[in-house]
């Protein structure tokens, strides 16, 4: 891919069973708009042996991340010590990817890809990141970043920033990587190293707390949001069922008068 770019996601056994989130994630590339070819550049990073064994059944490129002495196979509840350790392990691995000279798109595995995001990235910017809340423009630090989707170019600035980000976990104990990012983006050191951060507009990258208002533009959606959309559609279909039944009768019998006759027969 362009500029030595790879697409990365992480997986543990809790999300790796057949028919689970990771299957939906991979399938979304096959069914999305101009996304199927991107599967050739997707690497799934497995936190444990079960996740790796399932990964190789559904995808060609899997990487077993060694986590000696730590069990990441079970579901980690939000902000528990196990969850935080797994998130920081992920971030440190992404730093190593940058050091190897690879740029990357990182995507959470519960994101369903609708469309190819590359045409909507900014031509400049070292780190481009999705938002929970998008304020005004791409450079406004008041934008609230979401670490579930980002595009990072490998260079000295991003490598230094990821090292700074990882070490900042010690300054913010009990916080996960996303909250720490939203704190340190204001740190003068980030400006000193010259890092250019671009926040991605929720008009396109709106699958988190502030969804896009136009599904024709939306590039991805989280699995939880997709589930809500399906529930709404099914609920709407149930409510409209009597209307559709009458409509079918109307077309079958030709006139409203004849339809009423049939209904009251």
Strand order in the sheet with 127-133: 62-64, 42-46, 5-11, 103-107, 144-152, 127-133, 197-199
Please write the tens of the pLDDT for every residue from 85-110.
Answer: 888 999 999 999 999 999 999 999 98
d(CA 88, CA 103): 19
> Tell me: the pLDDT tens digits for 40-58?
999 999 999 999 999 999 9
pLDDT at residue number 262: 38
Q: What is the pLDDT of residue 220?
A: 83
Distances (CA, A) of 16 to 86, 94, 111, 153, 174: 16, 21, 15, 29, 27
Q: What residues contact 58, with CB distance under 8 A and at least 6 apart?
A: 22, 23, 26
At residue 66, the pLDDT reads 75
pTM of the model: 0.81
pLDDT score, position 155? 98
Question: Hey, how many other C-beta atoms are within 10 angstroms of the C-beta on 169?
Answer: 19
- According to CATH, what is the number of the domain 2-218? 3.90.550
Q: Which residues of the chain have pLDDT under 50?
A: 76-79, 227-237, 239-240, 243-265
How much is the pLDDT for 231?
46
Q: How far is CA 241 from CA 55, 169, 189, 229, 264, in A?
A: 41, 53, 60, 18, 18
In this prediction, residue 255 carries a pLDDT of 44
pLDDT of residue 13: 87
Domain residue ranges in the chain: 2-218, 226-263
């Amino acid at each position: 891919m362009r500029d030595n770019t790879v697409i990365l996601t992480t997986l543990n056994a809790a999300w790796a069973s057949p028919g689970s989130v990771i299957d939906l994630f991979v399938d979304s590339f096959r069914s999305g708009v101009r996304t199927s070819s991107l599967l050739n550049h997707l690497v799934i990073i497995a936190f444990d042996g079960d996740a790796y064994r399932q990964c190789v059944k559904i995808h060609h490129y899997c990487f077993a991340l060694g986590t000696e002495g730590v069990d990441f196979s079970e579901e980690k509840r939000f902000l528990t010590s196990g969850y935080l350790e797994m998130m920081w392990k992920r971030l440190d691995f992404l730093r190593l990817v940058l050091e190897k000279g690879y740029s990357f798109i990182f995507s959470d595995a519960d994101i369903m890809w609708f469309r190819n995001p590359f045409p909507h990235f900014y031509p400049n910017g070292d780190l481009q990141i999705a938002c929970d809340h998008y304020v005004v423009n791409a450079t406004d630090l008041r934008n609230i970043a979401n670490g579930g989707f980002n595009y990072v170019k490998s260079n000295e600035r991003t490598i230094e920033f990821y090292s700074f980000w990882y070490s900042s976990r010690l300054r913010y104990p009990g916080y996960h990587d996303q909250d720490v990012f939203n704190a340190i983006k204001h740190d003068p050191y980030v400006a000193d190293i010259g890092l250019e951060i671009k926040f991605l507009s929720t008009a396109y990258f709106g699958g988190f707390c502030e969804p896009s208002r136009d599904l024709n533009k939306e590039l991805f959606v989280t699995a939880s949001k997709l589930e809500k959309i399906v529930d709404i559609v099914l609920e709407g279909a149930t409510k409209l069922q009597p209307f559709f039944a009458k409509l079918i009768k109307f077309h079958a019998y030709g006139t409203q008068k004849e339809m009423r006759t049939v209904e009251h027969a």
